[in-house]
């Protein structure tokens, strides 16, 4: 079985490109990658963008003709932009009589509402004839079933590389979990609106005002970087540090040096990779109930905030610190990751489901 995998370019920072890197590292089936979408240097305006899309489509068609894969595996987020960009790949694949598998990552609720209101919506037309879909929330799977899609729609988890965690030291964490040592929070990700970056800072500031020992490490890059740097310079809090983008051992170290993930996102996430990584390293997770997180999250993992207000989230963190056993949470999360989230487990599951339609 040959699988042609459509993916963002791997030098583009983001959850989907990271998923692809991990996926192909553990895939036992013969595969080829075809890249589509933005490049790291899109400076050529509308004409250059149209040319890039045309080249992407031609490369895809050429690979279909000369390599002859049996399955097309499309990584995509459910949004208007992604659907209009990628429906042509579904159309071409079906012209060549290929099996099409879609892995839905992010999920845009505004776009969902548009599809709900229109029985003849563009999305319903072009994605009704694929052969298999994976998604990160049971709610998303149920919604697609409501739209009349007849193919298998399987809820799954995203994944983390076995090597990333074992080499990073899952069993040799250096961070302290003693109940009296306070919280060493980590926020890591793309610095965008609704990702909860400045909310995380507010939470840590409020905890310190309430005499709870709490610090915050911030890692990542994005549109809000300049605003963040200016704000941190203005408030000058020694317990909040910005580390920039981190990779490899440096990334493993920030996880080991933390004992909790703080992720008060308001974004319609699929299943954020950072939560998977934090669980694998045994961090206590504090997160908002967005996207696919509620389907996945269990109370043994930490706290899923019930109300999206700073004071309420602070209250819930303090309640956890007073009543929960952090070491027990850490041990539970590491074990859960080994059994459910390591790439060796997830990729084998995905391959098995794909073989069923071939």
Task: Output Rg (C-alpha) for the chain, integer angstroms.
Answer: 21
Average pLDDT over every residue of 98-105: 96
Whether 330 and 185 share a structural domain: yes
Contact between residue 184 and residue 217 where contact means Cβ atoms under 8 Å apart:
yes
The residue ranking higher by pLDDT, 78 or 11, is 78
Q: Lowest mean pLDDT: which of 39-53, 68-82, 160-174, 226-240?
A: 160-174
User: pLDDT tier at 109 (50, 70, 90 boundaries)?
Assistant: confident
User: In the 8-state DSSP scheme, what is residue 299?
Assistant: G
The partner residues of 101 in beta bridges, in order of sequence, read 73, 132
Burial of 81 (0-12, 13-18, 19+ CB in 10 A): exposed
The terminus-to-terminus CA distance of the chain in angstroms comes to 8
CA dihedral 292, 293, 296, 297 (to 10 degrees): -170
| CATH code for the domain in which residue 225 is found | 3.40.50.2000
Average pLDDT over every residue of 5-26: 87
Whether 98 and 61 share a structural domain: yes
Q: Which residues contact 132 (CB under 8 A, 6 or more apart)?
A: 99, 100, 101, 102, 151, 152, 154, 353, 354, 357
310/210 Cα distance (integer angstroms)? 13
Whether 91 and 176 share a structural domain: no
The partner residues of 78 in beta bridges, in order of sequence, read 107
Domain that holds residue 173: 162-340
219/187 Cα distance (integer angstroms)? 6
User: pLDDT tier at 314 (50, 70, 90 boundaries)?
Assistant: very high
Q: 304-321 burial, b for 16+ CB within 10 Å, e for fewer?
A: bbeeeeeeebbbbbeebb
Whether 128 and 242 share a structural domain: no
Contact between residue 354 and residue 171 where contact means Cβ atoms under 8 Å apart:
no
Whether 125 and 183 share a structural domain: no
The CA distances from residue 45 to 38, 41, 85, 159, 163, in Å, are: 12, 11, 17, 35, 40
Q: Is 69 helix (H, G, I), strand (E, B) or coil?
A: coil
Closest CA to 254 of 293, 301, 218, 303: 218
Decide if pLDDT at 169 tops 70.
no
> What does the pLDDT look like over 119-162, one tens digit per residue?
889 999 999 999 999 998 888 999 999 999 999 999 988 888 88
Domain count, the chain: 2
User: pLDDT tier at 106 (50, 70, 90 boundaries)?
Assistant: confident
Secondary structure (DSSP) of 207-266: HHHTT--EEEEEEEESTTHHHHHHHHHHH--TTEEEEES--HHHHHHHHHT-SEEEE---
Whether 118 and 186 share a structural domain: no
Contact between residue 278 and residue 164 where contact means Cβ atoms under 8 Å apart:
no
Whether 144 and 221 share a structural domain: no
Whether 148 and 210 share a structural domain: no
User: In the 8-state DSSP scheme, what is residue 281?
Assistant: T
Whether 216 and 99 share a structural domain: no
Whether 184 and 151 share a structural domain: no
> What does the pLDDT look like over 174-224, one tens digit per residue?
445 555 568 999 999 989 988 999 999 999 999 999 999 999 999 999 999
Share of the chain above pLDDT 90, in %: 66
Read off the pTM.
Answer: 0.79
> What does the pLDDT look like over 255-311, one tens digit per residue?
999 999 999 998 766 678 899 999 999 999 999 988 778 888 999 999 999 888 999
Contact between residue 101 and residue 32 where contact means Cβ atoms under 8 Å apart:
no
Whether 120 and 170 share a structural domain: no
Supply the mean pLDDT for the chain.
89
Task: Measure CA 23 to chain center.
Answer: 13
Whether 24 and 54 share a structural domain: yes
Q: Say what the pLDDT of residue 36 is.
A: 87
Q: Say what the pLDDT of residue 295 is.
A: 84
61/59 Cα distance (integer angstroms)? 6
Decide if pLDDT at 170 tops 60.
no
């Amino acid at each position: 079985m040959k699988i042609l995998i459509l993916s963002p370019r791997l030098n583009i920072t983001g959850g989907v490109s990271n998923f692809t890197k991990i996926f192909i590292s553990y895939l036992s089936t013969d595969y080829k990658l075809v890249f589509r979408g933005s490049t790291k240097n899109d400076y050529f305006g509308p004409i250059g963008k149209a040319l890039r899309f045309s080249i992407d489509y031609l490369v895809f068609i050429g690979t279909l003709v000369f390599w002859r894969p049996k399955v097309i595996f499309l990584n995509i987020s459910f949004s208007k932009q992604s659907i209009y960009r990628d429906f042509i790949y579904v159309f071409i694949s079906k012209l060549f009589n290929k099996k099409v598998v879609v892995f839905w990552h992010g999920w845009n609720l505004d776009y969902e509402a548009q599809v709900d209101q229109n029985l003849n919506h563009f999305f319903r037309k072009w994605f009704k004839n694929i052969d298999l879909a994976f998604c990160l929330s049971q709610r998303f799977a149920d919604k697609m079933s409501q739209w009349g899609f007849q193919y298998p729609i399987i809820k799954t988890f995203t994944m983390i590389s076995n090597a990333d965690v074992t080499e990073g030291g899952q069993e040799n964490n250096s961070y302290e979990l003693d109940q009296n040592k306070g919280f060493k929070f980590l926020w890591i990700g793309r610095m965008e609106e609704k990702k909860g970056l400045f909310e995380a800072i507010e939470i840590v500031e409020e905890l310190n005002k309430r005499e709870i020992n709490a610090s915050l490490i911030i890692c990542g890059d994005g549109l809000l970087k300049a605003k963040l740097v200016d704000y941190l310079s203005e408030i000058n809090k020694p317990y909040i540090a910005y580390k920039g983008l981190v990779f490899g051992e440096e990334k493993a170290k920030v996880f080991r040096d933390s004992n909790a993930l703080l992720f008060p996102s308001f974004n319609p996430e699929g299943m954020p990779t950072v939560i998977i990584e934090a669980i694998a390293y045994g961090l206590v997770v504090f997160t908002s109930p967005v996207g696919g997180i509620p389907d996945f999250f269990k109370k043994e993992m930490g706290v899923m905030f019930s109300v999206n207000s700073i004071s309420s989230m602070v209250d819930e963190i303090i309640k956890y610190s007073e009543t929960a056993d952090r070491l027990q949470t850490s041990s539970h999360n590491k074990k859960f990751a080994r059994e459910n989230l390591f790439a060796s487990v997830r990729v084998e599951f995905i391959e098995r489901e794909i073989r069923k339609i071939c």
